[in-house]
Amino acid sequence: MVEIKPLRMPDFETVATWLSNPAINQWLASGWRGKQVDAKTLAIITMKSVNRLFLVRYQGVPCGLVALGCIDTLDKTGTLWYLLGNPAHSGRGTMTEAVRQVIRVAFSELGLRSIMASIMVGNISSRRVLEKNGFKEVGILRQALTFNGQAVDRILFDLLAVDLATPS
């Protein structure tokens, strides 16, 4: 069973370890990349209302993080990002379900109208998580990311609350 809960102090260390793991860190936004993340960093991130971080647990065991950042209550938008901390859960649909639950929070509880997400070109597993949750590809920012020293494209997705309300 997959569940999400707001990220709080006792779990900061666990999540900081994931974020600092080079295998995970290399995929993160530039602000995180190459940095050693600690519990203090997460305390800072979570104390700002524009960020909502959720710990993902599978059968009670922490295994990932789903976050909404850049929450704009005026334009009713937010940016989704996520990571799987425990690779043993890869391919099981854990993140797909966790993202689905966060989307519900975003639209129902926070009243957002649109959620944006992006992936590095070629990140198939991350793309699958978005597409299974109804995200639509809306554009490509060419050479907008640096990966292993190379410029790579960033693919943009969005999901509207009305998309979920309207049967496709």
What does the binding site for other proteins look like in residue numbers (CB under 8 A)?
9, 12, 31, 35, 38-45, 47-51
State in angstroms the smallest separation of the CB of 101 from other proteins: 24
State in angstroms the smallest separation of the CB of 50 from other proteins: 8
Residue 47 or residue 74: which is nearer to other proteins going by CB? 47
Residue 2 or residue 145: which is nearer to other proteins going by CB? 145
Angstrom distances, CA of residue 126 to CA of 42, 47, 52, 59, 75: 23, 27, 20, 22, 26
State in angstroms the smallest separation of the CB of 43 from other proteins: 4
Q: 119 with 126: CB under 8 angstroms?
A: yes
Residue 22 or residue 31: which is nearer to other proteins going by CB? 31
State in angstroms the smallest separation of the CB of 69 from other proteins: 9
Residue 2 or residue 37: which is nearer to other proteins going by CB? 37
